[in-house]
């Protein structure tokens, strides 16, 4: 890899907690220089979030470490005149300004889009919020669970008996951050053609609905509302979680030939002659009966054994792992997905970080360093301004 795709791109990051920091983390992995602007003495709330109380008190909570590796940290009070002037100078030299305040907060601090654009006509300004910058809900507070509920995610998670359930990780924040990163890179590509900056208004609610794919489109196109189905796949059968001898196993025999192969491998070729299971729609209509027949056969072997037998014959199947098991999967190690970086402020310790699942010219994108201590780069602001100002002068000369 000769260089990362966003090498030379400068990101001024005002975000907190997850959606915004997750976005800028991926921009960093892609090569951008990310300068995190934090409130003096307090910093990103995520510094104090996580399962380890000692880390939380030290301002390096697990939630913060996970999303902020490779970034710089400066402390600025955007209500202070001197710090506002410094912020103006940084905006002038930045390529991207990213924030996830409630709609209109940055404008009320004195930095509406019109002013930001006058400071830097080439600036890509991305504002992430729960519901967008306009509309009747624009001022409503939004956390991940609130968005999950409003998007309909919770209504289709779980079984008819257990729904609504929250998805087991902050998916609305995550999808919002990814959509922001995608839109930023697209805006940078457009700027390369036009020289003009862009204002990007990212709604977590809308990004979440967009990410729900068939659950939403099936209703919009066919008028059929999705229902909670637990671990079963509404589009095919057999497709879901099944019972091996020692625990659960995921199988997705979504195509006819996969179903036929599955029946042969579990010793139940007779199922192919049963009209209830002859084709896709019939199998969906008789899902429970089919699952019961297959579960009885699958209990003859362990999940690990089936994980070797079925995929080798073209039937997608795998065990259901815990997170501690998942991060040790050999495939991840082969691709360099997890990387050890120094622990902030302690070079003798390391912490493992995730990548983004992308290889560039065969190489994984890994963090360029640890997450910063609060204000670790504040003293370097003059140096930073000089470097960003010099770049700006070169670009406009």
Cα 355 → chain centroid: 11
CA 105/CA 11 separation, integer angstroms:
19
CA 366/CA 202 separation, integer angstroms:
26
Within the chain, strands assigned E span 10-13, 33-38, 72-75, 96-99, 124-129, 198-203, 239-244, 247-252, 317-319, 338-343, 346-354, 359-360, 363-364
CA 76/CA 62 separation, integer angstroms:
23
173 in active site = yes
Q: Which residues pair with 351 in a beta bridge?
A: 341
Residues 208, 175 contacting (CB under 8 angstroms):
yes
Q: Max alpha carbon distance in the chain (Å)?
A: 80
CA triple 158-354-75, angle to 5 deg? 105
Both tokens assigned to 395: 């670009």
Q: Is the dihedral of CA 200, 175, 370, 75 positive or negative?
A: positive
From first CA to last CA, the distance across the chain in angstroms is: 30
Question: Cβ contacts of residue 169 below 8 Å, gap of 6+?
Answer: none
Cα 295 → chain centroid: 34
Q: Name the catalytic one among 13, 95, 144, 173.
A: 173
Catalytic residue set: 173
């Amino acid at each position: 890899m000769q260089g990362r795709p966003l090498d030379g791109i400068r990101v001024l990051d005002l975000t907190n907690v997850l959606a915004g920091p997750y976005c800028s983390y991926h921009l960093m992995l892609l090569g951008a220089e990310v300068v995190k602007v934090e409130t003096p003495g307090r910093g990103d709330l995520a510094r104090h979030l996580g399962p380890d109380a000692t880390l939380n008190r030290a301002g390096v909570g697990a939630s913060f470490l996970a999303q902020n590796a490779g970034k710089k940290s400066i402390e600025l009070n955007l209500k202070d005149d001197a710090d506002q002037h410094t912020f103006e100078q940084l905006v002038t030299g930045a390529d991207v300004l990213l924030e996830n305040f409630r709609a209109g907060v940055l404008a009320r601090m004195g930095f509406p889009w019109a002013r930001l654009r006058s400071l830097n006509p080439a600036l890509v300004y991305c504002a992430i919020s729960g519901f967008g910058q306009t509309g009747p809900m624009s001022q409503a507070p939004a956390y991940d669970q609130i968005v999950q509920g409003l998007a309909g995610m919770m209504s289709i998670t779980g079984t008819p008996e257990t729904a609504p359930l929250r998805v087991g990780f902050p998916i609305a924040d995550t999808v919002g951050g990814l959509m922001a990163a995608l839109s930023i890179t697209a805006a940078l590509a457009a700027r390369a053609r036009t020289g003009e900056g862009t204002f990007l208004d990212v709604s977590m609610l809308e990004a979440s609905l967009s990410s729900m794919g068939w659950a939403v489109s099936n209703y919009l196109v066919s008028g059929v509302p999705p229902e909670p189905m637990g671990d079963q796949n509404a589009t095919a059968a057999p497709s879901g979680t099944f019972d091996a001898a020692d625990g659960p196993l995921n199988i997705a025999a979504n195509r006819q030939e996969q179903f036929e192969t599955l029946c042969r491998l579990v010793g139940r070729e007779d199922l192919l002659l049963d009209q209830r299971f002859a084709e896709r729609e019939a199998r969906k209509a008789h899902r429970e009966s089919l699952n019961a027949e297959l579960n009885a056969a699958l209990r003859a072997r362990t999940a690990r054994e089936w994980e070797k037998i079925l995929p080798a014959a073209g039937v997608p199947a795998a065990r259901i792992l815990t997170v501690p098991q998942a991060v040790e999967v050999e495939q991840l190690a082969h691709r360099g997905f997890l990387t050890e970086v120094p622990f902030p402020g302690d070079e003798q310790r390391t912490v493992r970080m995730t990548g983004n699942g992308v290889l560039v010219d065969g190489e994984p994108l890994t963090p360029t360093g640890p997450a910063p201590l609060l204000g670790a780069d504040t003293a370097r602001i003059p140096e930073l301004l000089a470097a960003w100002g010099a770049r700006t002068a070169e670009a406009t000369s």
